[in-house]
Amino acid sequence: MKSYILRRLLLIIPTLFGIMLINFVIVQSAPGGPVERTIAQIQGHDTLVTGRVGDVGRADVAPSDSSSTYRGAQGLDPELINRIESQYGFDRPAHERFFLMVRNYLVFDFGESFYQEKTVIGLIVEKMPVSISLGLWTTLIAYTISVPLGISKAVRHGSHFDVWTSGVIVVGYAIPNFLFAIILIVLFAGGSYWDWFPLRGLTSPDFHSLDWWEKILDYLWHITLPVTASVIGSFATLTMLTKNSFLDEIGKQYVMTARSKGLSQRGVLYGHVFRNAMLIIIAGMPAALIGIFFTGSLLIEVIFSLDGLGLLGFEAVINRDYPVIFGTLYIFTLIGLLLKLVGDITYMLIDPRIDFERR
Ordered DSSP codes for 269-300: IIIIIHHHHTHHHHHTHHHHHHIIIIITTHHH
Predicted structure pTM score = 0.74
Average of pLDDT values for 141-157?
87
Higher pLDDT, 196 or 47: 196
- Residue 38's H or E segment, with its range, is helix 34-43
Other beta carbons within 10 Å of 243? 26
Answer yes or no: are the C-beta atoms of 275 and 340 closer than 8 Å. Answer: no
**206-240: pLDDT as tens digits:** 888 888 888 889 888 888 888 888 887 677 778 88
Is the model's pLDDT at 49 over the cut of 70? no
What does 317-344 look like in DSSP terms, one character per residue?
A: HHHT-HHHHHHHHHHHHHHHHHHHHHHH
CA 45/CA 39 separation, integer angstroms: 10
Domain residue ranges of the chain, discontinuous segments joined by +? 34-106, 120-350
Mean pLDDT of the chain: 79
Q: Assign a CATH topology to domain 120-350.
A: MetI-like fold (1.10.3720)
Average of pLDDT values for 268-278?
77
CA 90/CA 96 separation, integer angstroms: 10
**4-37: pLDDT as tens digits:** 888 888 999 999 999 999 999 988 877 777 777 7
CA 253/CA 272 separation, integer angstroms: 12
Judged on CB neighbours under 10 Å (0-12, 13-18, 19+), 107 is exposed
**238-263: pLDDT as tens digits:** 888 888 888 888 878 888 888 788 77
Is the model's pLDDT at 293 over the cut of 70? no
